[in-house]
Structure 1
Amino acid sequence: MSWYRSPPPWPIDLLQAIAERESTNICEASRLVGRDIKQVSESLERLYQSILALYFAALALYVPQAS
């Protein structure tokens, strides 16, 4: 399928740190994983974009297209 692209590697360590500590901001999350704020922000933005792409791809499979 042409719309499918492999997502970048998931930032599992970042997601675990956020979930375990219930981190609510990028500054705290960056401190927890030992990365700078820009890296954490970019990782979360890529993750968000990948989730949106998957959502809309799945939606397109189940919603009838208008003729």
Structure 2
Amino acid sequence: MSKQSENREKQGFQKKCPCCGNCLHFTSEIVKEPSFMPGSYWEREKNLRCGIGDFKVGKSNWCQEHKFNK
């Protein structure tokens, strides 16, 4: 293992940051909407909410209650 890899492991380095989009408590709905081409649809995520406080969030927000989704 390289020295950089060892140092990353010692520090507990992670590429993913804590944010609502990867939190265990994050909830949302996927809706299918018609596309401009007949017969095709695109998916949109809506109703982004925190499962703890049941308030509206953005995917890049985060709080002290964050737990990474497995």
TM-score range, shorter chain: under 0.3
Give 1 or 2: higher helix fraction: 1
Q: Name the TM-score, length of structure 1 as normaliser.
A: 0.23
Give 1 or 2: higher strand fraction: 2
Q: Name the TM-score, length of structure 2 as normaliser.
A: 0.22
Larger Rg: 2
